[in-house]
Amino acid sequence: SLPARDRGQQDDSHNDWTYETGSAHQHIARQLTRGLLEEADLVLTMGPDHRRWILDAWPQHGRKVLLLGQAARVMSDLPADLELDRLVAFLWARRSTDPSDEVQDPYKRGPEAMATAARQIDAAMDVIAPALERIAQR
């Protein structure tokens, strides 16, 4: 089972921290449910432990659960003709692991760890968001 902080409980370690792109005070974790997972086309996790937890609970959804870093690596070089409805299959077929795929959990590790995690997330999303926009416009 996931630690309490991953079960939707508030993490107060963000009280002293505001990253350059916003405030952590607006974030409230919520527990992943079967319903949320079934509605999602793609689920991106910070690390392999979260992915494993999801797959232990709902193995039938494994193909749409990837690490944030995995998705960013593959999405950095998408074919020009890739359709949105083929994206998840494309990501799954090209999945691989790299130590840099994992966003280290900054929980109770101080502001430097939080800033590092935020930079990793921002870097991945700087690849993923524009790629999704390009695909959605086709």
CATH number at residue 99: 3.40.50
pLDDT of amino acid 17:
45
- Which run of H or of E encompasses 51? helix 48-57
Residue-level pLDDT, tens digit, the chain, 138 residues? 455 455 444 445 444 445 455 565 676 778 999 999 999 999 999 999 999 999 999 999 999 999 999 999 999 999 999 999 999 999 999 999 899 999 998 989 999 999 999 999 999 999 999 999 999 997
Does residue 71 contact residue 125 with C-beta atoms inside 8 Å? Answer: no
- Distant-in-sequence, close-in-space partners of 15: CB < 8 Å, separation ≥ 6: 25
Number of domains comprising the chain: 1
The confidence score (pLDDT) of residue 28 equals 77
To which residue do tokens 């960013």 refer? 72
Residue 49 structural domain: 4-136
Which residue from 67, 84, 64 is spatially nearest to 136, judged by alpha carbons?
84
What are the Cα distances from residue 67, in Å, to 42, 113, 135? 10, 19, 20
Write down the pLDDT at residue 59: 97
Q: What is the DSSP letter of 27?
A: -
Report the predicted TM-score, pTM, of the whole model to 2 decimal places: 0.78
